Structure 1
Amino acid sequence: MQQAIAILDSGVGGLTVAKEVMRQLPREKVIYFGDTARTPYGPRTPEEVRLFTEQIVDYLIQFNPKMIVIACNTATAAALDYIASKISIPVIGVIRPGARAAISATKTGHIGVIGTAGTIQSGAYPAALKELSPYIHVVSEACPTLVPLVERGVFDTQETAEVVRDALKEIKQNNIDCLILGCTHYPFLKKAIQLEMGPKVKLISSADETAREISTVLYQKGQLARGEETPIHQFFCSGDAEMFQSIACEWLGEHINLTPVVWQNPVL
């Protein structure tokens, strides 16, 4: 049986990573878990996020995946090292790939980061960027109003434009040439964000670079999928299955095999 790449997120945001993995690595089977019952993770404590991430990983391990991808910036900041120390298969996050993409794209060295409160408070992006280049100037802004929009499927309305405008008003005052979308939910709002930031600011999503890192790690371990079989992907969510299915089908452009999961004694 083909071993899968297991991807987890607080909700639908990690579908941006899943889509890129499915595009770049079409032979790979993807198992995706969206913890929609407990989203958003951003306002939660690092301890809660670590607990939730560990619960999801424990659930996904039953499927014998060859890799875990934490496709959530908040969970990457809070739990990546912890999860990597607990299991024997590779664990990849989205922060370092996003930082690499921004370093590659910036011309001026002035980079902005938007994310959840948890991601911004962790300082994970400035740390990753400075590790790659000490000359980078970083400004960060928490945008807690954006994830709920995405989880409701509100991508391209007047409400979207107004919420995005209000969320970005501070970071727009800075002279940046790159803006890292430091939450995997944010690419769903890329059109509105780009319109607000203007054409001179390049938006950086970690999805492309994360998929490339997954490919590199699997190649190095000799675990890239082979053969001509079309993989059958599996999707799980812990909350509103109808909303998740609607957003996932629209984003991925295909029907998905979705299984609802009900947590026993969840922390909500």
Structure 2
Amino acid sequence: MQQAIAVLDSGVGGLTVVKEVMRQLPRERIIYFGDTARAPYGPRPSAEVVMFTKQIVDFLLEFNPKMIVIACNTATALALDEIRAYSPVPVLGVIHPGTRAAIKNTANNVIGVIGTEGTIRSGAYEQAINTVLPDAVVHSVACPRLVPLVEKGLYSETESRIAVSESLMPLKDKPIDCLILGCTHYPFLSDMISHVMGSGVKLISSADETAREIGTVLYHRGQLAEEDERPNHQFFCSGDSHMFRKIAQQWLGQEISVSSMTWPETQII
């Protein structure tokens, strides 16, 4: 069996990256872990997010992947450097790919960022943007209400429309021309977000750019999959596997099976 790309997230959000990897790199096998039992990561202390991320990486390394993708902005912001130093295989995050896409798309250098409390508090996007574009003005807003709604499969409900509208209010009067969806859960709500922000604001999801970076890294390492048969993907979650499967099948447009992996009680904080 071919070596897989391992993808992890606090829950279902990383499926937005998986969908794009499947589109751009259809021969690649994916192993996905969603830590749905402990989502969301955004409000958690940094040390806890790092510990959880290491636990998942240890689990995924048992499958001998050729790469690990941290498809969670909070975990990328707080744990990427430590996981890179820890992992024997390459590790990619989602913040720099999203940043590159925003810089390519902004015309007035005024960029909005929405994310979890942990991601926004870290300042990771501002730092990444201003390193490349020192004159850029970045307006960042934490939207803690959105991830739980997506995890419950409520991303097309009135409750979500209200939460999106109220969460984005601080950005409505800002002259941003692109908005980074700084959480991989947010593309589930992209239609609502676009409706609130208006046609003049381009939404930036890191999924497309992340998938492109995955392909580039694998190409340069001589590790692109060559098998022509349909790859056998594997999906794991730590919480409600029925809800995870329902959301995953809707988003990916295909039947999947999901295995539950229960953490010891001492690890569910």
Q: Distance in 2 between matches of 1:236 and 1:157?
A: 26
Q: Offset of 1:258 from its aligned partner?
A: 0.8
Structure 2 counterpart SS, 1:32: strand
In structure 1, what is the equivalent of residue 137 of structure 2? 137
Q: 151-160 or 49-58, which moves further after superposition?
A: 151-160
Q: Does 1:74 align with 2:83?
A: no
In structure 2, what is the equivalent of residue 266 of structure 1? 267
In structure 1, what is the equivalent of residue 83 of structure 2? 83
Residues 185-230 of structure 1, C-alpha deviations (whole Å, 9 max, x = no match): 0000001000000000000000000000000000000000002121
Q: Distance in 2 between matches of 1:76 and 1:32?
A: 16
Q: Offset of 1:88 from its aligned partner?
A: 1.8
Q: Distance in 2 between matches of 1:80 and 1:160?
A: 30
In structure 1, what is the equivalent of residue 234 of structure 2? 234
In structure 1, what is the equivalent of residue 170 of structure 2? 170
Residues 43-93 of structure 1, C-alpha deviations (whole Å, 9 max, x = no match): 001100000000000000000000000000000001100000011210000
Normalised to the residue count of structure 1, the TM-score between the two structures is: 0.99
Q: Distance in 1 between matches of 2:152 and 2:72?
A: 18
Q: Distance in 2 between matches of 1:228 and 1:115?
A: 38
Q: Offset of 1:257 from its aligned partner?
A: 2.1
In structure 2, what is the equivalent of residue 155 of structure 1? 155
Q: Distance in 1 between matches of 2:157 and 2:34?
A: 24
Structure 1 counterpart SS, 2:17: helix
Q: CA RMSD in A?
A: 0.6
In structure 2, what is the equivalent of residue 95 of structure 1? 95
Q: Counterparts of 1:220-259 in structure 2 under 5 Å?
A: 220-259=220-259
Count of equivalent residues? 268
| Moved beyond 3 Å, runs of 4+ | none
Q: Does 1:33 align with 2:26?
A: no
Q: Counterparts of 1:2-81 in structure 2 under 5 Å?
A: 2-81=2-81
- Counterpart amino acid of residue 57 in structure 2: V
Q: Distance in 2 between matches of 1:163 and 1:118?
A: 19
**Gap regions ≥5 residues in structure 1:** none
Q: Distance in 1 between matches of 2:198 and 2:205?
A: 16
Normalised to the residue count of structure 2, the TM-score between the two structures is: 0.99
Structure 2 counterpart SS, 1:12: coil
Q: Distance in 2 between matches of 1:52 and 1:177?
A: 35
Contact 2:116/2:144 (8 A) holds in 1: yes
Q: Distance in 2 between matches of 1:134 and 1:267?
A: 41
- Counterpart amino acid of residue 201 in structure 2: V
Q: Offset of 1:249 from its aligned partner?
A: 0.4
Structure 1 counterpart SS, 2:104: helix
